[in-house]
Structure 1
């Protein structure tokens, strides 16, 4: 903690930061927040730069009308009460804000339903300290967003932000239920047109029920987070299993498209995890046909390429490129046809989703930046969010990779010295055997250096990073267990890339 010290009666030097309303605003009390940074006079220079960085990174969430949140103007609408339904209207390009008060360790279930056609709503929940605890935007146009059993760990006033993906105006309804225990621990009911955000407990299962009519066509999409591999089963009214899906890996969606219900009755969707892991997921149920009806292999890409193609109605394009572990790539897709609202995915050699981007509006480009985890063939998937046809361009580039500079070998018990130039990372190599238990200690030579260390395995992969000390303090990794024979690496760098001298020691743990 940069401001942590023992008070011993010494004189303090302080910096006071006043954060006020935007110019032109006239609230009753103009001053919003006061931050005080203090340190003993003789240590002020040690903390001065850190205090400045802290002050420049402060973000304040305010409920006064007209302030900027999520890159859009916002209107404060009122207070939500548990088990009450409110209705309001979004204006073009503006967000609505609602607040509610909760004691600590409560569960919140929030339902956001469009009342006017053509709305694609988004729900964001912000805790009393200004941190975002949930973002729900998993449905399509006209779908209801339901966030179930959000755990509220902090007491105080929470903010619910309602927005529309295309910044369109329209009416919506919003409801809140606060409970001391989760309502949907074992599942619940889902209706066509709903997108439910829930959490699967470890070694658990959840059952979601819906009513169907013989001959209806439904589509089901189960999208887990990266922590678990979801399994989707669909059972008919007689209890017989109709669909069993486990086609993806951790974080990959399971999709049932254009399934024709055989009989009228109550159907059950069973959600489980392959290894019993817990995690959040989104379950969407819709009637009608799948939006993307055709996949077209558009061709190969190389770094530096720009290619132009034409999407047909309800079509997705796949582009392929060869990448190496550690490559940092940028993928930019630009609509030439102005009505296109492009959706871009990057898939790894195991066809696992690495990144996805659909943040911008019709006619605007989308960009993905990612570091490749392994050698192999990668896939870029491009489609239009609404299935519209049109022309687009895709560009693939590789960014320069910042790699550590080899500076020497290190033996157990040896202390070495280094001098980091600005922006450089030093790499020290050492021979190790499986089962070695070692301590690694690095100390800066001056009080204005903030070091961090990383350990690399014989394959060059970073297995652990340590950055716990403050400016002028050392870093240590104690009782680290070597997992394989070979040449391991210790990377030393300065947090702010300003450089500086240091000493480094690696030895058997005591």
Structure 2
């Protein structure tokens, strides 16, 4: 079911993937077929977004293998409108490594990989004592005829300071994408409240690193990122979702509903 954007300013957000094309676009790492990259989580970053362009019918394999013994990898494959397509925890060749194997891409377009840890997928936000290194690989994709490997197009709603939006997430699209332009040193507070489900907020920086998150604010099931100081100028991406969003691929998932989102 498609969302109804009745009172919202709806925006198709072009996010630069792997190239810097101006101050109004975040920069994600874009993966091509056969790529294997080395990256790491450090300090307050325990999740990162990567992008790729694929064609309908491509059979893809995405693997995340830890180089640090303390790291338990977790992978989520997302569609460009907030669809959770599949996830994996421990299916890799190395013990505790993650691997999404032989997944058939449903349509031409842009996709996101959320690379994180088993502990951090629910928004656990702790400062890492040591960097956690990993390898991420992607195989099986072909670029659509009219595809653009330098950009990824997301369906996102634009936010401005003072925003007060009533929104809905559903099983087909359990993550609501929102974005805003910010500047270094700016303090932002983001609130997500719902009577229907246990909320979860992620905040990603312009490079795709998750820089803040919150699950239960003050022992409630609502979420709040309070007084967060933005580290740089650029466009920031918010995931507004349910605590159990990774289970939306299951038929009996009931984690969606209406919510109120505000930003100051």
Classify the TM-score, shorter chain: 0.3 to 0.5
TM-score normalized by structure 2? 0.43
Higher RCO (CA 8 Å, separation ≥ 6 residues): 2
Higher Cα radius of gyration: 1
TM-score normalized by structure 1? 0.24
